[in-house]
Structure formats: C-alpha cells, structure tokens
A and B are shown apart, each in its own frame.
Chain A
C-alpha cells in the first residue's frame, strides 16, 4: 500500500530556533497533503491543507507565519515551525491524499509523526 514518511521522527530544539519537518509520499503522487497536530492523549487537530504548487490553507487559529508550509512537489511537503517555543512541543502528523478521482472516497495515508520538543 501507499506509504508516507516523515523526517525526523523526533527533534529537540532550543527555544527561538526553527525546525523543519518533511513529509514524503513514497510510492504515489499526492496533490494534497495535510498537517495535523496532536497533543498528548488528544485527537488530531488539522492545522493546514497543502496543495502542490499553491499556498496552504490554514485552519482558524493557526498562525501561518509561525507554521510555514511548502508543498513544492507532488511527493514532498514541509512544515517549518519558526521561532519555536515550549508551547509548540507536540506530535506533528502529516497525511497525503492519494487521488482516485472522487474527493470523498480518496484515501488519506498518514505519516508516522514527528515528536517535537522545544526546551
């Protein structure tokens, strides 16, 4: 089946630095990728929807200048957490949509997640 990878799996950084997380679809082309954030023992919160070659669409309350998303190719999307602070510590999960023609029935494949810890 389709595989989505994320890199790195874990990252620890100092407050004020920026961190980039990569999301790749390994054996399919993903015109749309999604970035989620998950706090401990909570559900996934959609942060933004990223379409290849265009600007990402951010959910209400998500700071686009803090969470920079780039979807430069059909297999790669990146999330950069700029000037990270301890409250940004979380589990970030990306998802890629494998287009099958009908939006509603398309399957989303999820990456393994990236654990970000900001000291």
Chain B
C-alpha cells in the first residue's frame, strides 16, 4: 500500500529565504506524486505533479519539486519565499488508480 510522510508539521522561513518542504513516499509501483496548497478555509489547489518523464517538475507560483526514486522523495522547493506563500502544503501520491493519499500536511510560516 502507498503512503506519504511529510517531515515537519511546521516550517518557518524568512521572506526571501529558500523554502524546502520535505515529502517521502512509499509505493510498490511507480507513483504519481502531487503537491497541493491550501489557504485557510479553502479547498486545495494543485501546485505541481509528477507522472512520468522529467524528474524536476515546475509548478505555479515559482515552486518546483524533484522526484528522486532512489530516495523515494519528492521535496518541494522555492528559491525565495514570499509572504503570500504562507499556507498549508500537502504532498500526495497516487498509483494508477483513482485514490489519492495525502500526507499530514506542513504549515509554512513566512516571517517579514
């Protein structure tokens, strides 16, 4: 069965600093991986996804993630944090079927 582990329930960075949100997955078959962002009292918005092909995936709002099969990781990064990036971020995995399994989420705080 597949699973997702997000390391760190809270991450705090200064505005302009690098953002790194960690995600490791477990899957017996090649996974499809996703990052979503959720703002307070709102639904989820897809940031980026990896299905096949290039392992470095670029998403919206300057975010990108790299699929590393050897490390079973799909960490999310952004070179320079903006105040508007403060939100909850969810990593998710899907293995060809319909179900998407979400990680526990990481709340990103951005300090001025």
Contacts and interface: CB of A to CB of B under 8 A. Distances in A.
Contacts of A107: 46, 49
Interface string A3-44: 010100000000000000000000000001010000001111
Interface in A74-119: 91, 93, 95, 97, 103-105, 107-113, 115
Contacts of A42: 104-105
Nearest to A107: B46
B42 interface: yes
Contacts of A112: 42-43
A91 B105 CA distance: 15
The CB with the most chain A CB atoms within 10 A, among B42, B44, B99, is that of: B44
Contact of A104 (B44, B94, B103): B94
A117 to B, nearest CB: 13
Looking at chain B's contact residues, is the secondary structure mostly helix, strand, loop, or mixed?
loop
A82 to B, nearest CB: 24
A113 B104 contact: no
Contacts, number: 56
Interface residues of B, number: 25
B103 A103 contact: no
Given A43-B90, A43-B105, A104-B51, A32 B98 contact: yes
A68 interface: no
A105 B51 contact: yes
B32 A113 contact: no
Contacts of A108: 46, 100
Interface in B75-112: 90, 94-105, 107
Interface of A: 4, 6, 32, 34, 41-44, 46, 49, 91, 93, 95, 97, 103-105, 107-113, 115
25 contacts: A34-B98, A34-B100, A41-B107, A42-B104, A42-B105, A43-B90, A43-B102, A44-B44, A46-B99, A46-B100, A91-B41, A95-B44, A104-B97, A105-B49, A105-B51, A107-B49, A108-B100, A109-B46, A110-B36, A110-B43, A111-B43, A112-B42, A113-B41, A113-B43, A115-B41
The 7 tightest CB contacts between A and B, nearest first, are A110-B43, A104-B96, A110-B44, A112-B43, A105-B51, A43-B102, A104-B32
